[in-house]
Structure 1
Amino acid sequence: MHDLSLIRSAPEAFDAGLARRGLPPRSQEILELDAHRRALILETEQTQARRNEASKEIGQKKRQGENADALMAEVARLKDVLPDLEIRLKAAEEGLDQLLATLPNLPADDVPAGSDESGNVERHRFGIPRKFNYAAKQHFDLGEALGMMDFEAAARLSGSRFVVLRNQIARLERALANFMLDLHTTEFGFTEMSVPYLVRDSAVYGTGQLPKFEEDLFRTTRGDWLIPTSEVPLTNLAADQIWAEEELPLRFTAHTPCFRSEAGSAGRDTRGMIRLHQFSKVEMVVVCAPEESDREHERMLTAAQTVLERLELPYRTVTLCTGDMGFAARKTYDIEVWLPGQEAYREISSVSNCGDFQARRMKARCRKAGEKHTRFLHTLNGSGLAVGRALVAVLENYQQEDGSIALPSVLHPYMGGLTKIEGAAA
C-alpha cells in the first residue's frame, strides 16, 4: 500500500515511480478521490457536531420552558442525513483503497530501468558449467529412466502439472529441504517455523496477492486460500502489531508446499518439474526496522547463494529491472541456476525488499524504546531455495553417462551416506 501523505506532497515523484514500472500517472485520480473522501469526512463530522449541539440546545430550551420544535425538526433531519453521509464516506474510502491496492510498489532508485527481463543486470556468476562428452539429458528423462519420477501417475491423481516422486529421488527432495533449513538456522540466524497452509483473505491481501492476482491462487470451498508460498503466513506473523525495535530483526524460515494455478503460463514448461501447481520451497522472511532493510536484503541474498555454492551448482545473480519486478517489491535479486539439459540459467530464487509496502497493508509497525510514535516496518522475502528446482539442478548437473546421479558431498549425511542414485537394475 502507498503512503497517501507522500502522494499529496510529491505527486510528480509518485507518477515518475509508476512510469518506471511502465504504468500511466495516477496521482491526479488518487488525489481527487482523496479530496472527495476528506470532504465527506469533514461534512460528516460537522453534521454530527451540529446534531449534538442542537440536541443540547433542545434540552436548554425545554428547561427554560421555551419552544424547541424547530430544533427538534433540525435534529430529526440531521439524523436522517447522517446514514447517507456514512454510506457515501464508506464508498469513497473503499474506492480509494481499491485503487491503491492495485498499484505496485515503487522501485528503489538504484533499480535498473527496463520493460522486461532483457533489462535485468547481471551481478555476478559462480562456478563453471560442466562440459559433457555426451548429450546432457533433462531431469524428467533422467527421473523417469530411474523409475523414480512419475508424471503419468500424478496426472491420474490430479491432472497436469503434478509429479509423484519415489524412492531415492523422493528422499533427495527431503534431503535438500533439510540441508537448506539447517544452513539458514545455524549459519544465518533464521528461526525455523511451521505454519498453516490455509490462510484468510487478510493474509493474502497483506502480502499483495489480493486483489490483483486472485486468479493465480487456489481457494477452498469454505473461502480459505492455499498458500502460494510461506511468505504469506510468515510475513503476516507481524500483522496488526507494534513491535519494539529492540526485538528486530525477526528472521523466519519454513519448508512448505506451495500452490499456484500458473494462470497465464499455458505452453510454458509443460514437461517436468519447473512449473507445477504444487511444489516445495524453503522460504526466508525478514521483518526489520527501515534502516536495516538494505543490509538484510544483501544478507538474505548471501544465504540463498550459499545453498547453491555448498551444492556446487553454477549460478548467476541478476538485479531485476523495473519492468520485471514482482508487485510488492521495491528491489529484487534473482538467482538463476545452470541447467545443462536446457543449456540455460533458470530462476531458482527471488530475494526481494518490499520496504514498508506490505507493512502498510498489514498494519505492522515498530516503535523505539521511550518513544510514543510508531512507524511502519520493512519486510523482505526470498526463496532459500525452491526445493523442486534445486532437485532438478542436482539431477541435471550431477548426471552420469550411465543414467545414475552422483550426489553433492554436502548431501551425503542427509541421504544416509548414499553417494549416488541408481536405478533398481544397477
Structure 2
Amino acid sequence: MLQVNYIRENREQVLERLAVKNFKQPELVDNIIELDEKRRQTQNLSDSVSAEANAAAKKIGELMRTGQKEEAQAIKANTGKWKEEIKQYGEQLTALEAELQQKLVLLPNLPHSSVPKGLTPEENEIVLEHGSKPELPGNALPHWELAAKYNLIDFELGVKITGAGFPVYKSKGAKLQRALISFFLDEAEKAGYSEMIVPLLVNEASGFGTGQLPDKEGQMYHVGVDNLYLIPTAEVPVTNLYRDVILKGEELPVKNCGYTPCFRREAGSYGAHVRGLNRLHQFDKVEIVQVVHPDNSYDVLEDMSLHVQGLLQKLGLPYRVLRLCGGDMGFASALTYDMETWSAAQQRWLEVSSVSNFETFQSNRLKLRFRNAEGKTQLAHTLNGSALALPRIVATLLENNQTEEGIKIPEALVPYTKFEWIK
C-alpha cells in the first residue's frame, strides 16, 4: 500500500509511474488526496477543540482553588458542548480513515524507474539469455507423454480424485519431485536463508498484508466456513511472520525460505499452453523471502536473481531473464525479474521463477518496521522469489534430457534422487 503522505506530496510523479502499469484512474488518486485533506482538517479541528477543553479544565481548576466558583461554573457550562464536538469529530475521522483505506488499497505499487513501458508479456525486456537450446530428434516427446511412458505422473488419476490441475506423482516422478525440493532448500541454506515450515491456510489479514487481498481474491481458494485462504505461494505466510513487528536495525537483512504446496484457481486458463505441468491448481515451490534496509533492496534483488540463475545453471537448463514491463507486473511489485527455461519439445519458453522487490508496499500494509541508526522506526523493504517452482522445471528437465536410453538426471540431483536415469 502506498503511503498517503507520498501521494499527496508527489501527485504528478505518482500518476506518471502508475501510467507505466497501465493504471487509468487518475480520479482515484485525486480522491485519495481530497480525503486525506479532509481527514487532516477534521483532525486539526478535533485537536483544536480538545486543546480548548484542556485549557478550560486547567482554568476551572485554578478558579476553584482561588474561590472564584461562579466564573468556574460559567466555563464548565461549555464542557458538554466540547465533549459532543470531540465525539462528532472522532466519528467523522473514523469514517474518513475507513474510506481512505478502502481507496488506498486499490492503488497498485509504483513501478521502479527501470521498468519498461508495455502492456503484454511480448513487451517484457530480455535482460540476458544463458545456455544453448538442446536439439532433440524428430520423435522427441512433450513432458506429458514422457510422464505416461515412464510412469512418472498420472494426470487422469488426479482428475478422478480432485479435478484437472491436480496431478498424482508416482514412483521416480515422486522421487524427482522430492529431490528437487531438497536440492532447492539445501541451496537456499547455503545462501544464508533460514528454513521455515509455515501454515498452508492464512487469514484475511495475512492475505491483505502481502497484497493478495483484495487484488487476487478470485484466484485464491477460500474456505468459507472458517474464512481462511489456501496459500497461492509461501510468500504469504513467510512474509507475514513479521506483521506488526519492529525489527532492530542489526537484525537486517532477514533471510527466510520455505517449501510449500501452492494453490491457485487459475480461473480462465485454457488452451494448449496449459497442458500437462504447464499450469496447475496445486504445485510445489520453494520460496525465498528477504526483509532488508531500503538502501540495499535493489542490490538484494540482483543477488536473489543470481541465486535463482545459479540453480538453473546447476540443473543444466538453458534460461533467460526478463525485466517485466509495467502492464505485465504484479499489483504489489515495484520491479520483477522473470526466469524462463527453454522447453525443447514444446519449442517455447516456460516461466519458472519471479523475483520481485516490493519496496515498502507490503511493509506498509504489514506495519513491518525497523529501528534505524537514529533510533526511529522506518518501513523495511520486502522481496521474494521462486527458487524454484517445480512443475515447469520438471517439464523442461524431462523434455530436454530425453534420450534413446531414457531420461538423464542432472548431476546435481543424483545425490538426492539416488538414480542417474529414468528408464
What TM-score, normalized by structure 1, do the two folds share?
0.92
Matches within 5 A, 1:261-276: 261-267=265-271, 269-276=273-280
Aligned residue number for residue 281 of structure 2: 277
Whole-Å separation in 2 of the counterparts to 1:335 and 1:270: 18
Matches within 5 A, 1:145-294: 145-186=149-190, 188-220=191-223, 221-267=225-271, 269-294=273-298
Shift of 1:145: 2.4
| Partner AA of 1:135 in structure 2 | N
**Residues 244-299 of structure 1, C-alpha deviation per residue, up to 9 Å, x if partnerless?**
22221111111111111113424474431221111100111111111111111111
* Cα root mean square deviation, aligned: 2.1
Matches within 5 A, 1:21-420: 21-24=21-24, 25=26, 26-54=28-56, 60=63, 64-66=68-70, 74-186=78-190, 188-220=191-223, 221-267=225-271, 269-369=273-373, 371-401=374-404, 404-416=406-418, 418-420=419-421
* Number of residue pairs the alignment of both structures matches: 418
> What runs of 5+ residues in structure 1 fail to find an aligned partner?
none
Aligned residue number for residue 4 of structure 1: 4
Whole-Å separation in 1 of the counterparts to 2:308 and 2:294: 22
Deviates more, 1:294-303 or 1:267-276: 267-276
Shift of 1:327: 1.1
Whole-Å separation in 1 of the counterparts to 2:370 and 2:42: 31
Aligned residue number for residue 13 of structure 1: 13
Paired residue secondary structure (1:342): coil
| Partner AA of 1:114 in structure 2 | G
| Partner AA of 2:267 in structure 1 | A
Whole-Å separation in 2 of the counterparts to 1:145 and 1:47: 79
Whole-Å separation in 2 of the counterparts to 1:82 and 1:135: 80
| Partner AA of 2:412 in structure 1 | V
| Partner AA of 2:138 in structure 1 | Y
- Conserved 8 A contact 2:219-2:264: yes
- Conserved 8 A contact 1:204-1:210: yes
Whole-Å separation in 1 of the counterparts to 2:346 and 2:152: 21
Paired residue secondary structure (2:7): helix
Whole-Å separation in 2 of the counterparts to 1:42 and 1:368: 30
Whole-Å separation in 2 of the counterparts to 1:160 and 1:69: 78
- Conserved 8 A contact 1:134-1:401: no
- Conserved 8 A contact 2:372-2:378: no
Paired residue secondary structure (1:349): strand
Q: Tell me: CA distance 1:70–1:216, structure 2 relative to 1, closer, same or farther (3 Å).
A: farther
Q: Tell me: CA distance 1:270–1:250, structure 2 relative to 1, closer, same or farther (3 Å).
A: same
- Conserved 8 A contact 1:320-1:332: yes
**Residues 352-399 of structure 1, C-alpha deviation per residue, up to 9 Å, x if partnerless?**
111121111111112234x22222111111100101221111111112
Report the identity percentage: 41
Shift of 1:70: 6.4
Whole-Å separation in 1 of the counterparts to 2:218 and 2:94: 27
Paired residue secondary structure (1:412): helix
**Residues 300-351 of structure 1, C-alpha deviation per residue, up to 9 Å, x if partnerless?**
0111011111110111111111111111111111100111222100100011
Whole-Å separation in 2 of the counterparts to 1:301 and 1:289: 18
**Residues 139-173 of structure 1, C-alpha deviation per residue, up to 9 Å, x if partnerless?**
11111222231122211221221111111100100
| Partner AA of 1:421 in structure 2 | I
Whole-Å separation in 2 of the counterparts to 1:85 and 1:268: 59
Whole-Å separation in 2 of the counterparts to 1:131 and 1:267: 26
Whole-Å separation in 2 of the counterparts to 1:33 and 1:46: 20
